[in-house]
Structure 1
Amino acid sequence: MSTIKTIIELLFLLYTVCILSFYFWLAIVSAKELIKNVREAKTTNFDALLSSPFAPVISVLAPAYNESLTIVDNIRALLGLYYPNFEIIVINDGSKDDSLEKTIKAFDMELVPFATDYKIKCQPIRGIYKSKVKAFSNLTVIDKLNGGKADALNAGINISKGDYFISIDVDSIIDPHALKKLIKPFFEETDKRVIAAGGVIQIANSCVIENGQMVEVNVPDKFLPRCQVIEYSRAFLMGRLAWSRLDGLLLISGALGLFDKEVVINCGGYYTKTVGEDMELVVRMRKYMADNNQKYKVVYISDPLCWTEAPSTLKVLGSQRNRWTRGTIDTIMLHRNIFFNRKYGFMGMVSHPYWVFFEWLAPIIEFSGILYFIIIALMGWASWSFFYVMLGFVYFFAIMFSNYAILFDHLSYNRYKKKRMIFKLLLTAWIEPFFYHPFVVYWGLRGNFDYFIKKKKSWGKMTRSGFEMPKYKKTKR
């Protein structure tokens, strides 16, 4: 029995060492890439791109389902993007609220005749609306039957005119300079074809938004969104940026991603039978390029290019994380032939296995470790000194990793101007492992249960609170 116990504990120890080593390696790689990106951003002349008559058309696709609370402000933000040649396509995916009516009224839109070339299958389009106002001539609204986000994006691709398209969440606020920064890698790379580019997503809770523009950046007042600020910093600056440098990036967030439309169409568009359409598309595009022996690249921009409203309640956040887990499993299962397949290079030998062992299976293994320790503790077999050493080591590694992400983000972009905001985040990082991480583990387990046992396929509800508007002080006359 003692031999079995020793083997089990060694396996848990090996897993812990492996995952922490991966995190440490990714942190070093991302730090080098971030320093490089910040230096390049200071010397890049984006004005040359803005004034160039050869700037390619970019189609901005924004699926909307029951987004009445923020849709008008977000469309205004999109209209204010600094880029010489772009169109905005808002896809009303059969909303049950007044999203469409609000949009039509706010931008003085009318139904226009249309013909659609269905290069990618999607639910029928009921109508296309264009604005009567010349200033909004690049705005198009598609009204279609409900088919989900992936289906809405496919409809937008069918209508779009650009060679490149950007998929966004309509509830997000995009940095006005996002398009010119995202398109830049597509022209810099000469040996490889850039097929997709993503940018850093940040949390907009408690920030002040005016006319669809970010006017004041604040640290979220509520604990849950504040934990997500730290989580996003780790994921984007310490994770995806490193995977981009290593040419192993498998995920570009659905909130903001720029894609080569030709490659997407050749791949068949977004897959509509998964809730993780963003990750699945990137993996399928990479497989397509590898299968056709084409040199390619998927890149990530370290700038904070998009702001999104994060869930502020456990119910909504749990629904989101449940969906993320199911989407991850779906992609891994659909493309399981990549797993340790040399044909797919770094993606097959490192990226895909990493997602299997340290993203999908992490909550299951962590829960199993906790359950195992409880059992041996009740039976009096636990080595408490070893337990305390391991607990302290893992805890302080997590704190160090979070603090590193917070401080590196601050030194690079200085988004949070007040010192108390940084202090607030650092303090949150110390308590996050006790009051936030256990929920993340539970939601991961629940996502596995819903995927394999309940066969759940739905998105779940994402209730929005809406962005905070500026408060003006009354002046005496």
Structure 2
Amino acid sequence: MYSFLFYLIMEVLGVIFLFLSFSVIVTYLFIMVLSALEMRDHRRKNRFADYQDIITSPIAPGVSILAPAYNEGESIVQNVKSLLSLHYGKFEVVVINDGSKDDTLAKLIQAFELEITEFAYCEEIPAQPVKGVYKSKNRSFNRLVVIDKENGGKADALNAGINVSSKELLACIDVDCILSHESITRMVRPFMEETNRQVIAVGGVIGIANNCDVQDGTVTKYRVPMTLLGRFQVIEYCRAFLMGRMAWARVNGLMLISGAFGFFKRDLVVEVGGYFPKTVGEDMELVVRMRRHMEERKIPYKVGFVPDPLCWTEVPEKEEVLSRQRNRWIRGTIETLQLHRVISFNPRYGIMGMLSYPYWSVFEKMAPVLELLGLLYTLVLIILGDFSAFYFIALFVVLYLLSILVSAFSLLYEQISYNNYKDKKDLNKLILTAFLEPMMIHPKIVYWGLGGHWDFIKGKGGWGQMIRTGFKKSEDKKNMEADTLNSSS
């Protein structure tokens, strides 16, 4: 009797894993088609676009750039100067010093001639106490507002920034990101284009600046990172932004806008209560909550996406740091999906409930667990002697080739649209990484994802320390190359 039940369970599991395998294939092929169509339409629409018209337009919305800062003393002045130099008419830069323990605030006060003001702080969204609001005595920096507050984490800092902000749109960024001079004009355009529905949020592409030349707050020369982990993330970001989010934006099913670079309607963010400080996935959670708000009130809306390279950041190239990042990402995903589980397969929430939420639940949240179960299932079959090597190898080859195909298409999209990596050596390195990733890097990603599940079960919170080495300037790189040549000679 028990033997019969055991073999019955094994047969059922075999059918389930086979179904999941083919679901992965069909889903990613579908995403590739949708993203290609969306990219084609975007290129056609923007071929003759003149973004200078937006800068001078009297109806262009104002933008409040919110940049939380914690212990950013080494680079805070240069980063803020870069933000103040953006090309747009109506914007302000709100830097939130979130209880830094270094000289972040002191450097800001000295560099921008700041003085504390009698600002009428209205706490529309709860946040940790604000010690003071600073503005510059120098009219050259009249766009800058600096908030000094008690430490409360990134979400809490953003909420304090929202309370001080005065513009219609919020641009929530990481203070150490590099923004294109045209980033605001391109990101506000979707808010101005729609007439039949509200655009509640817009996301943008995040580029990787590791090993690139950076001068005056702009990436002047693209190079791929020097490490395998860094190059893997270039491919991963292309897949995530130029394929995944492009596809979901086409069907208005986008549930995530990167916390490093996203625009939101301020009045709606305030209406839904701002960022939720008790999750490490505050960016995803806010987008889902805003979408729920609109769906429950049956208000036509859209979450947009701009597939232009407008923001660059430094990614971790050490396994220790990358593992903490991926652990946090999976915990944030689990927290958000649990907080909003009423959405799951609920037709009341449209595309988000019937497609987006199930996709994130299976292919993002449960992916590490399902891969582990599949491995254990295979091992049990081997032990029982019921293992079909031909079936296993055939399925493995199909999934391996699918992985390479998806990566190759994401790189193709990047080359057709932007052609940032012009050196053939860089492209060859990325192509080689696409072949190596499934075998050398993906198992580690699964392992770190499983660690995120385990930490969530244990109730572990927090971000973990994210160590950055800093961007290289063009002149610094030239000096380094000269030193290398001198030492070798």
Sort the TM-score into its range (normalised by shorter chain): over 0.9
In 1: Cα distance, 2:138 partner to 2:215 partner: 22
In 2: Cα distance, 1:63 partner to 1:461 partner: 16
For structure 1, the residue ranges without an aligned partner over 5 or more in a row are none
| Total equivalences in the alignment | 473
- Give 1:2 shift: 4.2
Contact 1:75–1:212 under 8 Å retained in 2: no
Question: Do structure 1's residue 467 and structure 2's residue 471 form an aligned pair?
Answer: yes
In 2: Cα distance, 1:379 partner to 1:444 partner: 29
Find the counterpart in structure 2 of residue 360 from structure 1.
365
In 1: Cα distance, 2:210 partner to 2:105 partner: 25
- Give 1:242 shift: 0.7
SS in 1 for 2:191: helix
Find the counterpart in structure 2 of residue 157 from structure 1.
162
SS in 2 for 1:244: helix
Paired residues for 1:245-324 under 5 Å? 245-324=250-329
- Give 1:123 shift: 0.5
Amino acid of the structure 1 residue aligned with 2:133: I
SS in 1 for 2:47: helix
Amino acid of the structure 1 residue aligned with 2:327: N
Distance 1:375 1:366, change over 3 A: same
Contact 2:197–2:300 under 8 Å retained in 1: yes
Question: Do structure 1's residue 455 and structure 2's residue 444 form an aligned pair?
Answer: no
In 1: Cα distance, 2:221 partner to 2:145 partner: 29
Aligned CA-pair RMSD: 1.3
Question: Do structure 1's residue 142 and structure 2's residue 165 form an aligned pair?
Answer: no
In 2: Cα distance, 1:70 partner to 1:11 partner: 51
Find the counterpart in structure 2 of residue 70 from structure 1.
75
Find the counterpart in structure 2 of residue 229 from structure 1.
234
Deviations 1:242-267 (A, max 9, x none): 10110111000001110000111110
408-417 vs 210-219, which moves further: 210-219
SS in 2 for 1:43: coil
Percent identity reads: 48
Find the counterpart in structure 2 of residue 239 from structure 1.
244
Contact 1:76–1:211 under 8 Å retained in 2: no
Find the counterpart in structure 2 of residue 103 from structure 1.
108
- Give 1:237 shift: 0.9
In 2: Cα distance, 1:85 partner to 1:438 partner: 47
- Give 1:75 shift: 1.4
- Give 1:223 shift: 1.4
In 1: Cα distance, 2:358 partner to 2:406 partner: 22
Question: Do structure 1's residue 205 and structure 2's residue 222 form an aligned pair?
Answer: no
For structure 2, the residue ranges without an aligned partner over 5 or more in a row are 1-5, 483-489
Contact 2:281–2:333 under 8 Å retained in 1: yes
In 2: Cα distance, 1:225 partner to 1:98 partner: 30
In 1: Cα distance, 2:193 partner to 2:306 partner: 13
Distance 1:20 1:69, change over 3 A: farther
Deviations 1:360-392 (A, max 9, x none): 011100111112212322343211111111111
- Give 1:106 shift: 2.5
- Give 1:397 shift: 0.7
Contact 1:165–1:261 under 8 Å retained in 2: yes
Paired residues for 1:167-182 under 5 Å? 167-182=172-187
TM-score (ref. length: structure 1): 0.97
Contact 2:208–2:312 under 8 Å retained in 1: yes
- Give 1:39 shift: 2.2
In 2: Cα distance, 1:217 partner to 1:124 partner: 42
In 2: Cα distance, 1:54 partner to 1:297 partner: 20
49-58 vs 81-90, which moves further: 49-58
Find the counterpart in structure 2 of residue 41 from structure 1.
46
Find the counterpart in structure 2 of residue 60 from structure 1.
65
Contact 2:60–2:192 under 8 Å retained in 1: no
Contact 2:71–2:100 under 8 Å retained in 1: yes
Contact 1:206–1:218 under 8 Å retained in 2: yes
51-60 vs 171-180, which moves further: 51-60
Question: Do structure 1's residue 10 and structure 2's residue 11 form an aligned pair?
Answer: no
Amino acid of the structure 1 residue aligned with 2:376: L
Contact 1:70–1:467 under 8 Å retained in 2: no
In 2: Cα distance, 1:143 partner to 1:225 partner: 34
